[in-house]
């Protein structure tokens, strides 16, 4: 299998797994997650909305017929996360969010 084809299949799967994992953590909302969302100015319980959307985008990424929609959804969610981290000057979390955002852009490109 050519490397490009392998990348086009593997990237959405890897991003999907990451989004489902992040979504699960945000949805369950350990104290540190809840505290972060409050610190960022989001209403109580918003971590569940974010977690649910992340998990949905992740599942969409795992299904070839819906991977493009999952990639777009992931890009929107991750872009909002990056903007929140910049606005709140939380530089320590920013590199990971930027890497995942770039992966979402690449997933859109390979599925586009």
The domains of the chain are located at: 3-111
Render each residue's pLDDT in the chain as its tens digit; 112 residues: 788 888 888 999 999 999 999 999 999 999 999 999 999 999 999 999 999 999 999 999 999 999 999 999 999 999 999 999 999 999 999 999 999 999 999 998 986 5
Q: Give the predicted TM-score (pTM) of the model.
A: 0.92
Residue 57's pLDDT is: 98
| DSSP-derived secondary structure for 97-110 | HHHHHHHHHHHHHH
Cα-Cα-Cα-Cα dihedral sign, residues 23, 112, 93, 95: positive
pLDDT at position 1: 73
52-68 exposure pattern, b = at least 16 Cβ within 10 A, e = fewer: ebbbbbbebbbeeebbb
């Amino acid at each position: 299998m050519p490397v490009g084809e392998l990348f086009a299949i593997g990237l959405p799967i890897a991003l999907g797994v990451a989004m489902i994992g992040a979504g699960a953590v945000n949805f369950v909302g350990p104290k540190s997650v809840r505290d972060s969302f409050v610190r960022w100015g989001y209403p109580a319980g918003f971590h569940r909305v974010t977690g649910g959307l992340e998990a949905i985008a992740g599942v969409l990424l795992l299904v070839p017929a819906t991977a493009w929609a999952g990639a777009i959804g992931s890009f929107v969610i991750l872009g909002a996360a990056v903007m929140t981290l910049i606005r709140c000057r939380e530089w320590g979390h920013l590199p990971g969010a930027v890497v995942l955002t770039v992966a979402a852009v690449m997933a859109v490109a390979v599925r586009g």
